[in-house]
Amino acid sequence: MAFNRRKFLQKITLGSAAIGLSSRLFGENDATATLSSNGSQHFNMCGYAAPKLNTVRIGFVGLGMRGPDAVERMSFIQGVEIVALCDKYPERVKKTQEILKKANLPAAKDYSGKEDSWKKMCEDPNIDLIYSCTPWHLHTPIAVYAMENGKHVATEVPAAKTIDECWQLVDTSEKTKKHCMMLENCCYDFFELLTLNMVRNGLLGEVVHAEGAYIHDLRWLNFKKTDGYADMWRLKENASRNGNLYPTHGLGPIAQCLNINRGDKMDHLVSMSTIDFQMNDEVKDLAAKDDFFTDYVNKPYRGSMNNTIIKTAKGKTMLIQHDVTSPRPYSRIHLVSGTKGIAQKWPSPAKIAFGHSWLKESEFKEIEDKWTPPIVKHVGEIAKKVGGHGGMDFIMDWRLIDCLRNGLALDQDVYDAAAWSCIAPLSEASVAKKSKTTDIPDFTRGAWKTNQPIDTSLSKGATTEIRNIDK
């Protein structure tokens, strides 16, 4: 009886843990239900062109790490009015107003001082686009509320933390016919755009395998008490979740090369993490010197390295890695391998091959000159001057505004936001179950079979001018 009772109690404990994990990863709804097709599509947002906006009136929320830089970039783009700034800390809004003053632009309306000041901003009828740079847990609530109040949304990565949140974004975008674009800036880096154009033109043949990563030692920033992440929110994410927490930088560009949601879809994944070899040790050293860090000791920190392998419906594979603690050079990997050739960057320099040997520098330059896409030729040099991760942030912002002003479909839609974001919670689920195969929802509800690939040719649009960039 004692043995049976012990086994019974163990099963209860394990079952409770599984329920807790399911609730956290999938949301409060039943995990199985949220993985399903979730009913029929209300409206297909892939390829949807919203009515033109001659002037795009923007409200920014989240003015800590990323927000002020986004405000500055947008200040250079004509056809933009920065009409509202929001943060729970009033001093951040005040500081960001100085960016507008420097650009000879009028001060924006101030929404600050409360945890939910963003709600009032989303309700403002004089705003067309909400640009969200907040901590991760606010991305979906802000996006959903903004769309429900008639606003398009551009949100920093990831767009959602749970599968349930992914479906909320999809359903709300479809019902309101408002864009929900995840600001995956790496899709607009120069080599990634070159690779995509090469794939579109068949230079690499049929793409059969691709790799991406986010390998970036962020310990110095995650443990930073001041001038870092507000309320240590990113450290808390690392201290409570184990999986690929930040997949989209590596995933976004290769998903476009593989026509994910537009001719193919991600079908299932397996994910495996090492144990934590560094975070707990580092926080123990910090706590010995500063009591502030005591509460962060002996937490279930995510593993140092995570490998997530994805299989697509058409039998192709993707490898996504995540490591933000190892003392390694920065890398996104970005590898696209096809039946005719391969393109790879990270580590630099970028390389291309159509056989057993990489192209010589002169041969690479010929390919680059011929196949650099029009968007880079149009705005690339200006983007480098404005800045933002070497210019890719500015290309992304300019492209978003030009699409809205010309009534064009966006390069990334809500299905991309959901599909790329869902890899984080699904990788957690797989890791928690000894790398068990985990299905990936089809957020397009079958429309991926007929959706068309994105058009980066700039055959339409490219009418948005840029203000004086001399600083």
pTM (2 d.p.): 0.93
Tokens of 142: 């802000």
DSSP label of 193 = H
- Which pLDDT does position 5 carry in this prediction? 46
Angle in degrees, CA 26, 31, 32, rounded to 5: 145
In angstroms, rounded to a whole number, what is the distance separating the alpha carbons of residues 134 and 406?
28
Give the pairing of strands 152-155 and 335-338: unpaired
Cβ-proximal residues to 120 (8 Å cutoff; 6+ apart), any chain: 111
Sheet strands (E) in 250-316: 266-273, 306-312
In angstroms, rounded to a whole number, what is the distance separating the alpha carbons of residues 146 and 7?
49
- Which pLDDT does position 19 carry in this prediction? 47
- Which pLDDT does position 6 carry in this prediction? 44
**pLDDT (tens digit per residue) in 346-377:** 989 999 999 999 999 999 999 999 999 999 99
Average pLDDT estimate for 24-34: 50
Q: How far is C-alpha 136 from the chain's CA centre?
A: 10
Q: Cis check for the bond before 347: say yes or no (omega within 30 of 0).
A: yes
Q: Nearest to residue 324, comparing CAs of 249, 250, 245, 271?
A: 245
Res. 30 pLDDT band, cuts 50 70 90:
very low
Burial of 126 (0-12, 13-18, 19+ CB in 10 A): exposed
Average pLDDT estimate for 165-186: 98
In angstroms, rounded to a whole number, what is the distance separating the alpha carbons of residues 341 and 147?
42
CATH, domain range 186-373+413-449: 3.30.360.10
Q: Is the pLDDT of residue 276 over 60?
A: yes
- Which pLDDT does position 467 carry in this prediction? 87
The chain-wide mean pLDDT, for the chain, equals 92
- Which pLDDT does position 165 carry in this prediction? 98
Q: Nearest to residue 379, comparing CAs of 101, 130, 153, 73?
A: 73
Helix %, strand %, coil % for the chain, to 5?
Answer: 45, 15, 40
Q: Is the pLDDT of residue 431 over 90?
A: yes
**pLDDT (tens digit per residue) in 56-87:** 999 999 999 999 999 999 999 999 999 999 99
Query: 423: helix, coil or strand?
Result: helix
